[in-house]
Amino acid sequence: MMVVNVSPVNLSRIVEKLSEVVDFKSDLPSKVFLENELVFWFFERPLLAFIEVVSGLISKSISSYGVDVFVKFSGDELLDNSCIVFDGCDTENKILIVNDDYVNFLGGKVGYPIVLFNESHDWVAFESAHEEFGVIAVREASLSKGFFDYLESNFISAKILDELALSSTADGLTARAFKESYRS
């Protein structure tokens, strides 16, 4: 089994399209998404370390939307081996390989932010080095029931974020900052 990195020619096209959805000049907890009509879920980072959850996210996305899923390291930088494609075959084992290979960011050759997204940008997850939470933005108009149910079961909903924001803990402070930026 092999993990497929995106070729340099395709990487340029992918980053160009992704830059229409994500403002790479911004960082969390600020709103990094350029589109409106989005709904949000949140997650504790690093998302790729939660093998079953991210594998399920990729599988549910492919079954719901019918397009490949990508993981892009180093934001909009056009670096070799910074973008990986998942086509739905043997996803959990590929995530294990990616997690092992990228735990040290290829020896510092790639880094944050990490962006997961499907090819048609129905959803985009953004993970920063500076925050403990990441954000998944989903186009409300394209949100399928199966994908919604997966997100509700495995990620932090806006309602749960509201509850976290009531706490005086560090997570509560973080939740309040995200709540301010990501009010639906």
Whose CA is closest to 118, among 165, 164, 64?
64
**Digit-coded pLDDT (tens) for 143-173:** 999 999 999 999 999 999 999 999 999 989 9
Lowest mean pLDDT among 2-6, 53-57, 60-64, 177-181: 2-6
pLDDT at 63: 96
pLDDT at 2: 64
pLDDT at 16: 97
Of the pLDDT bands very low, low, confident and very high (cuts 50, 70, 90), residue 19 is: very high
Q: Would you list the domain boundaries of the chain?
A: 4-181
The angle at the Cα of 37, spanning 84 to 142, to the nearest 5 degrees, equals 60
What's this model's pTM, rounded to 2 decimal places?
A: 0.95
Whose CA is closest to 110, among 129, 94, 90, 123?
129
**Digit-coded pLDDT (tens) for 57-85:** 999 999 999 999 999 999 999 999 999 99
pLDDT at 183: 80
**Digit-coded pLDDT (tens) for 91-137:** 998 999 888 888 788 888 999 999 999 999 999 999 999 999 999 99
pLDDT at 184: 56
